[in-house]
Amino acid sequence: MKKRKNHSPDFKAKVALEAIREELTLAELSKKYDVHPTQLGTWKRAAIENMATAFARRGAAPEQVSPAEL
């Protein structure tokens, strides 16, 4: 039985950034980094959704979205 791989946040960010650039397809990136294409899509989506936090002020509370707005 194969042991699960634990990827570092740095590795995930690097691969997600390559996926966002779309220079290679997810299938090609999957083969290059030996990660399942579905996992790459998940990392890409998470990176895009959380990108705004990189530009938030430090110490400021992140904006909360109420369930009613969803």
Q: What is the DSSP string of 28-41?
A: HHHHHHT--HHHHH
32 falls within a domain = yes
The span from the CA of 68 to the CA of 49, in Å, is 19
The per-residue pLDDT for range 15-66, each reduced to its tens digit, is 999 999 999 999 999 999 999 999 999 999 999 999 888 887 776 565 666 6
Domain contains 30: yes
Residues 40, 19 contacting (CB under 8 angstroms): yes
- Least Cα distance to 33 among 19, 51, 23, 46 occurs for 19
Residue 62 lies in a domain: no
Domain-embedded: residue 59: no
- Greatest distance between any 2 Cα atoms in the chain: 46
* Total of domains in the chain: 1
Decide if 13 is inside a domain: yes
In a domain, 41, yes or no: yes
Q: Which range marks the domain in which residue 15 is found?
A: 9-52
What is the model's pTM? Answer: 0.71
